[in-house]
Amino acid sequence: PSRTFHGNKRLLTSQIVSYYESIHQCKKELPEYFNFASDVLDEWSQLEKDGRKPANPAFWWVNDEGEEVKWSFEELGFLSRKAANVLSEACGLQRGDRVVAVLPRVPEWWLLNVACMRTGIVFIPGTSQLTAKDIAYRLQASKAKCFITSDTLAPAVESVLPGSQFLKSKLIVGQGSRDGWLNLKELL
């Protein structure tokens, strides 16, 4: 039994706890490998396609000016696969590689997060309030091979690039272009 909240069925806390208890007591079989993007997102997308699940937004973003971005599960899956290809092919990243993403909370932040889950790339988020010194520390400590940021934050990253020995690629999220940076929107 689940209660309705604004028309959506949600699990009660007791149901969630009992599910985890059943896993702990080995009553539920755990998959050897679990990937949220393929095991959940793609499954929900297929349920929508087959008409077994009503089409609801998987992602709904609204900025301060009232602009909206709405993606269905199918659209989010499609876009995250394209973003995963950008990370794997254009940026040359592989499973286990690390990506530092210093972005405001724009739709691409979530898209790249799901793309990293899909590919096994480690997503390391950072606040847009980081200083050049903070960025340099995170690059060295994480041994990140890719840095993703907006065109307004790129200068802070560029100022510390000489000290970054692991960085292979830089990806910019925005309309502008910068020398030595790949543009996510163009590559998508």
How far apart, in whole angstroms, are the C-alpha atoms of residue 166 and residue 147? 11
Measured CA to CA, the distance from residue 52 to residue 124 in angstroms comes to: 35
Decide if 5 is inside a domain: no
Can you list the positions of beta strands (E) in 105-145? 122-126
**In the prediction, which pLDDT does 90 show?**
96
Q: Does 133 reside within a domain?
A: yes
Q: Report the first-to-last Cα separation within the chain, whole angstroms.
A: 42
Q: Is residue 53 part of a domain?
A: no
The predicted pLDDT at position 3 comes to 45
> Residue 114: which CATH number?
3.40.50.980
Q: Distance between CA atoms of 138 and 120, rounded to whole angstroms? A: 20
Residues in the chain with pLDDT < 50?
Answer: 1-8, 11
- The answer to the question of residue 2 being in a domain is no
Q: Confirm whether 136 is domain-assigned.
A: yes
Q: Domains in the chain: how many in total?
A: 1
Does the residue 168 lie in any domain?
Answer: yes
The pLDDT, as a whole number, for residue 39 is 87
Inside any domain, residue 15: no
Would you tell me how many other CB atoms lie within 10 Å of the CB of residue 85? 16
Cross-strand bridge partners of residue 3? 10
For the record, the structure tokens of 134 come out as: 């903070």
Structural domain of 146: 59-186
pLDDT of residue 156: 86
In a domain, 49, yes or no: no
Q: Model pTM?
A: 0.80
